Amino acid sequence: MSRLKNYIQTHTNPPVFLISGGIMLVMVAWASLAPAPFSRVANQVNDFISTYFDWLYVFSMAAFLVFVVGVAFSRAGRLRLGPDDSRPEFSTFSWLSMMFTCGMGVGLVYYGVAEPVMLYQNPPFGEGQTAAAAQTAMNYTFYHWGLHPWGAYIVLGLALGYFSYRRGLPLKPASAFYPLIGDRIYGPIGHTIDILAVFGTLFGLATSIGLGASQIAAGLSGMLPVSSGLGTQLAIILVVELIAIGSVMMGISAGIRRLSLFNAALAGLLALFVFIAGPTLYILSYLGTDLGYYIQNLPLTSLRLFTDEQGEAFQTAWTIFDWGWFISWSPFVGMFIARISHGYTIRQFILGTLLVPSGASIAWFVIFGRTALHGLLEGGGNQALLDADASHMIFVVLDALPVAGTLAAVAAMLQIVVVTLFFATSSDSGSLVVDILTNGGDPHPIWEQRLFWAILEGVIAAVLLVAGTLGGGDPLSAIQTASVTSGLPFCFVLLTMCYTLFRAMSQELEQGTASFARKLSNAA
């Protein structure tokens, strides 16, 4: 017993590790033993947040984007995430690949076809299944997967990178509150902030894992004599988590970096295949049209709150869920991109993180979404696509491409592999982040702790899938609700970080970077 106590005190931040781990285990037990009541309570919480806090999510996400763009083009943009003579640890391509695969990952391949098609059928305003509905669908898909999510990620990542690499504080969210509470970041207030980040990361990961498992199962059921039901999804979670565990145990350079590079290459190959085999000229013509419409309408789209029944239903099902998911996901992505961004200037960090993954996401949705919409608008219709559920839609589109059956099967298998690797890269990156959160900010956690959290995140996703199924609803409903719920308190954390960042960077610029650095060095 004394050895265990000594181990916890030496290698973890005991309050954060024990409280967050304990609460997560209690929730897993509740969802396992009483799935129906758990699912009912989760839905009630989701309804409450969607009714009373939709405005907070919408306005906050817009504020995060405005803030980071302002910082990028301010004098603070020339500061480095680290000493002034530091240089990046990873090459630009490796840096961007790891950022992209952990930041969006499974969501892109799951919703690449599903979101444009589903919003085409049920747009936030106007009549569905029209050319105007298709334009609206692409605009709101870009809104949900373009610049705004990365704005939230950058706030967290910039706060961690700045306060850790320039101020010498631990790599944990509580460090960003140092200008407000000082050394109390090491006390109960700081522990609470870090615990919220753990919850957000685990629930955001659970959502990604649940989406990935359902789509992999859907693809396998079309190629092999297996069902796409709960049993298959649980088996997939087990297999992919074993891959993720192997990757995270190898560390960033040997495991996560290599898996991310390989995954990015396969995703690019899949997108290139669909671009060439699909309606190429149609895709090219709408790339500029859809992007221009998105940019032109960005202010209105960013601040619009719907008050009619049709719009409210859309906003609850899509925007509020996405913003809650991305905010809950921000501790994971933010900490991970901070961990791999040492040595970059703040301007490089913001513009690289904001523009490259967003641009790649938009290109992805144009290729896959417009290919699907072409079949619905100009290809004589595709009833099978309209009848399919979200996890099957991508495979319906691949099967409808005018290529030989063998090529279509190869593309479907490639899609499954890409989803699996996105699933694994999100999981291994997330495990590393939770390790850092619960050990007090050490960027090099010991293997036992990495193993513990890698296993627990898979268990959480599996149990929430079971709870959603046995609770009488959509298997993903409990997971999605967990993301929206955990995003609410962390939204206030991100808003406060904007203020502390502004205050700290302004102070440094007023004092002068050189004298400020000497002061920090002397204090250390």
**3-class DSSP state of 267:** helix
Q: Which of 54-68, 159-173, 227-241 has the highest mean pLDDT?
A: 54-68
Q: Report the distance separating Cα 447 and Cα 445, nearest Å.
A: 7
> pLDDT at position 95, please?
80
**3-class DSSP state of 421:** helix
> Structure pTM?
0.86
CA dihedral for 430, 434, 436, 437, sign (positive or negative): positive
pLDDT at 336 > cutoff 90: no
The per-residue pLDDT for range 149-175, each reduced to its tens digit, is 999 999 999 999 999 998 888 888 899
CB within 8 Å of 494: residues ≥ 6 apart: 60, 64, 152, 155, 156, 327, 330
CB within 8 Å of 405: residues ≥ 6 apart: none
Q: Which of 35-39, 192-196, 287-291 has the highest mean pLDDT?
A: 287-291
Confidence of residue 524 (pLDDT cuts 50, 70, 90): very low
Q: Report the distance separating Cα 312 and Cα 523, nearest Å.
A: 53
**85: DSSP letter:** T
Tokens of 308: 């009619």
The per-residue pLDDT for range 242-271, each reduced to its tens digit, is 777 776 666 555 555 666 677 778 888 889
Q: Work out the number of other CB atoms within 10 angstroms of the CB of residue 252.
A: 23
Domain chopping of the chain, boundaries? 15-512
Average pLDDT over residues 116-121: 95
Q: Report the distance separating Cα 288 and Cα 366, nearest Å.
A: 10
pLDDT at 203 > cutoff 60: yes
pLDDT at 28 > cutoff 90: no
The per-residue pLDDT for range 472-491, each reduced to its tens digit, is 555 566 666 766 777 888 89
Q: Are 94 and 261 in contact (CB under 8 A)?
A: yes
Q: Report the distance separating Cα 370 and Cα 366, nearest Å.
A: 5
CB within 8 Å of 317: residues ≥ 6 apart: none
Longest dimension (CA), the chain: 72
Q: Report the distance separating Cα 410 and Cα 197, nearest Å.
A: 40
Distances (CA, A) of 94 to 178, 261, 337, 341, 483: 31, 7, 12, 11, 29
Pick the CATH number of 15-512 from 1.20.58.220, 1.20.1740.10, 1.10.580.10, 3.40.50.20: 1.20.1740.10
Confidence of residue 365 (pLDDT cuts 50, 70, 90): very high
Q: Report the distance separating Cα 236 and Cα 213, nearest Å.
A: 6
The per-residue pLDDT for range 80-108, each reduced to its tens digit, is 998 888 888 777 877 877 776 665 666 78
Average pLDDT over residues 4-24: 70
Q: Work out the number of other CB atoms within 10 angstroms of the CB of residue 22.
A: 10
345 burial class (0-12, 13-18, 19+ CB within 10 angstroms)? Answer: buried
